Structure 1
Amino acid sequence: MYSTVFFIHSWWAYLVLLILVIASINSLIGFFSKKEYSATDFRIALFTLIVSHIQLLIGLILYFVSPYFNAFSEGGMGEVMKDSTLRLYLVEHPLMMILAVVLITVGYSKHKKKLTSRPKFKMLAIFYTLALVFVLSRIPWGAWF
């Protein structure tokens, strides 16, 4: 089960990263060019929200079926924090990705409450770009390439 979930999580991450980059760039362009908010912009923001939440669910399943998870019961949190690989996979990566999904969710929710285009793009630009920075900061790049 672990290898299947890991495979799905790894490949879905490419989609999440691509869509998040597209959504961030789209919102920045929309904000700075003062264009009108359209149905396409709404769909991009919504699709980003959906794929990131799916990735979060897959990641949570992977977290609990991962062989790394046993390190908590074997050595405790102190041992996990001493080992950089365990710390990345058990603490840093999950925490930052959960925060990124929270930022995406908050940004999406706040942008829907705005009535005009510029504030909508501003909310999306701030929250989606911050989420992108969080995601890029804690991707286990060594496992990706």
Structure 2
Amino acid sequence: MHSMLVHAHSGLRWLVLIFLILAIVTAWGKWSKQTAYPDGKLPLLGFIFTHVQLLLGFILYFISPKVQFASGVMKDSMLRFYTVEHIVLMLLAIALITVGYIKAKKQIPSPLGHRTIVRYYAIGLALILLSIPWPFRGLGAGWF
């Protein structure tokens, strides 16, 4: 079961990244054209996929051997990453995406909702990109 969850969590990351990027790019274009918000479902899909990813991540956090709650975790860079850095940055990113989505919905029918999506989703995306265990970081993770 652990292996299946790891693969689902790793594969879903690509959908999260794709939908966040699409939501940011389309919101940028609609904001520059002064289109009233909401216009399209990409922000909602980005919101949904990040929250599904969060649920999978929470399950993995408590069953993964890479997460340990013993003393000395902070000395090992891989254990520190998975136990502290990854979850804190991801929670912060998902909180920003959630706040951005909710604030944008409150700005209906103003084009400022698109600006809100761009700002909050872009910061969230940057935090997500920083906290993904990319293969080149040497944290024991692959591309999928």
TM-score by length of 2: 0.89
State yes or no: 1:106 paired with 2:99.
Answer: yes
Whether contact under 8 Å (2:20, 2:125) holds in the other structure is yes
Distance 1:21 1:39 in 2: 16
Q: What SS is found at the alignment partner of 1:144?
A: coil
2:74: which partner in 1? 81
Whose helix proportion is higher, 1 or 2?
Answer: 1
Deviations 1:40-71 (A, max 9, x none): 1xx111111111100000000011110122x3
2:109: which partner in 1? 116
Once the 2 structures are TM-superposed, how far is the Cα of residue 33 of structure 1 from its aligned partner? 3.2
Distance 1:2 1:10 in 2: 12
2:14: which partner in 1? 14
Give the alignment's Cα RMSD to 1 decimal: 1.4
1:53: which partner in 2? 51
The residue type paired with residue 72 of structure 1 is F
Deviations 1:55-93 (A, max 9, x none): 000000011110122x313xx2xx111111111111111
TM-score by length of 1: 0.88
Segments of structure 2 that go 5 or more residues without pairing to the other structure are 136-140
How many equivalent pairs are there? Answer: 138
Segments of structure 1 that go 5 or more residues without pairing to the other structure are none
Distance 1:49 1:11, change over 3 A: same
Structure 1 consecutive aligned stretches of length 4 or more whose deviation exceeds 4 Å: none
Once the two structures are aligned, what percentage of the paired residues are identical? 40
The residue type paired with residue 10 of structure 1 is S
2:42: which partner in 1? 44
